Structure 1
Amino acid sequence: MTIQLCVLLWARPGRSDAMAAYEDTVLALLPDHDGRLVQRARTRPDAPDGAPDETQLIEFAGQAGYDGFLADPRRAALSAERDAAIARTELFPVTLDRA
């Protein structure tokens, strides 16, 4: 069963570029786990206060791929980098419409 997720990310103050660099690295791991980045958007500077800095739509072929991505040691090795750049993450399952 396909796993489809929406990920909202908030950078620590002044760390949005570091957050984007971290995400560039970990999102590159998705194909190794039957995952793919469907869409990635950075919030415009004129967005309302409190808006996430980045929104991602991610899809995995199944639960095993998602679990493998979460447990990937390359991803885990970057936890200090992540903690330094990302203040908050919200993740929730979605259903992606196919246009």
Structure 2
Amino acid sequence: MSGGNVAINLCVLLWARPGAEAALAAYEDKVLALFDDHGCTLLQRVRTDGADGAPTEVQIITVPSQAALDAYLADERRTALAAERDAAVARTDIHRVELV
């Protein structure tokens, strides 16, 4: 991902491991709480029942820059939760999007 000081909009799709839907939500609650420290904004967060292969959770996020996104991803409070994430999250897809 590139883009100096240009705001970035992301659509994040998350699939829970079987039976770990609540654990995915709990993990996301923790890491999304770090957004303010990096200037990131959660615009929308929704959940599905996961039927027919749908993602468990979808998030629309705005980050102020690539540097802010990199800092969030490297945040030690976030990376310390890697085992919790691995136990709850089966798959993550991230797409750059335009808000319309």
TM-score, structure 1 as length reference: 0.92
The amino acid that maps onto 2:24 is M
Q: Structure 2 regions of 5+ residues with no counterpart?
A: 1-5
Where does residue 9 of structure 2 map in the other structure? 4
Where does residue 33 of structure 2 map in the other structure? 28
Where does residue 65 of structure 2 map in the other structure? 62
Matched, 1:18 2:12: no
* Cα distance per residue 1:77-99 (max 9 Å; x no partner): 000000000000000100112xx
How far apart are 1:8 and its partner, in Å? 0.3
- What's the % identity of the aligned pairs? 59
Q: Structure 1 regions of 5+ residues with no counterpart?
A: none
**Structure 1 moving runs of 4+ over 4 Å:** none
- Secondary structure, in 3 states, of the residue corresponding to 1:49? helix
Matched, 1:74 2:77: yes
How far apart are 1:64 and its partner, in Å? 1.2
Distance in 2, matches of 1:93 and 1:2, equals 11
- Secondary structure, in 3 states, of the residue corresponding to 1:66? helix
